[in-house]
Structure 1
């Protein structure tokens, strides 16, 4: 014996198929409340069914980047706020100061300036000693009561007549 519900189910299936075939989808959709339909959709479940890796693989990243107006994007960046968020102590701790000094050439500048300073100091001391030598020489000449005009103007090997310079 066939149950009446089964017969009605088969009959409804056949009728439904013919109704769906004969009715325009736009007519049916015009009667659908899309907002109410979307309210019933479980988005988490829907997203779980989507192959996001497949979607991402289909995206042309270069084309997407070409569409970005970088200048406009940079105008929206608050640089002051960005700088305030930087932890300078952390940045400084990660720096290799010795390497930075070597690359900057600062050590060479310091050595060069020390060398110049030392050279200048030596020159100053030499001039002072030369002046002191001249003063002491005059004091000795006076003490010994010699005529300062009779003294040689230079050591004998360096005392070359002026004419030798002009002949060369």
Structure 2
């Protein structure tokens, strides 16, 4: 039996050496062969994590045509999906507007106060002249303010 095994091995080796793979492949119907393969079963055997680990992300990104990719983006549709109210709130813009309004209101009030104080001084001098009072005889401040010192 051992002799037959050795003889079969030598014959098989000679046959394999003398056969041209292109000749064999030319007789195979690849479409029929692919129809017999269960692709789902084959894909289940693939280790996706290992395959992804082999990908050079930097090289992949270098190959991406960003301009072409951006041309395909539908900006109108993208903007429709944005929650603008949330974006504005997260930006802090409402607080900036409130702070700006408060500063503006404070500045306007200060301006009005200065204008009223100036008008009061002008009216006081006018009344003093009209009534022919001596400006040096008038008190420097109202009586209640003078008493608090």
Is the TM-score greater than 0.5? yes
Q: Does 1:144 align with 2:120?
A: no
CA drift at 1:73: 1.4
CA drift at 1:125: 0.9
**RMSD (CA atoms):** 2.2
Aligned residues: 143
Aligned to 1:62: 49
Q: Does 1:95 align with 2:72?
A: no
Aligned to 2:4: none
Q: Which runs of 5 or more residues in structure 2 are unaligned? A: 1-6
Which residue of the other structure, out of 119, 136, 143, is the alignment partner of 2:106? 119
Distance 1:160 1:75, change over 3 A: farther
- Give the whole-Å Cα distance in 2 for the aligned partners of 1:39 and 1:141: 122
Which residue of the other structure, out of 14, 19, 36, is the alignment partner of 1:27? 14
**CA displacement 1:116-160 (0-9 Å, x = unmatched):** 111111111111111111111111111111111111111112125
- Give the whole-Å Cα distance in 1 for the aligned partners of 2:56 and 2:133: 95
- Give the whole-Å Cα distance in 1 for the aligned partners of 2:45 and 2:147: 95
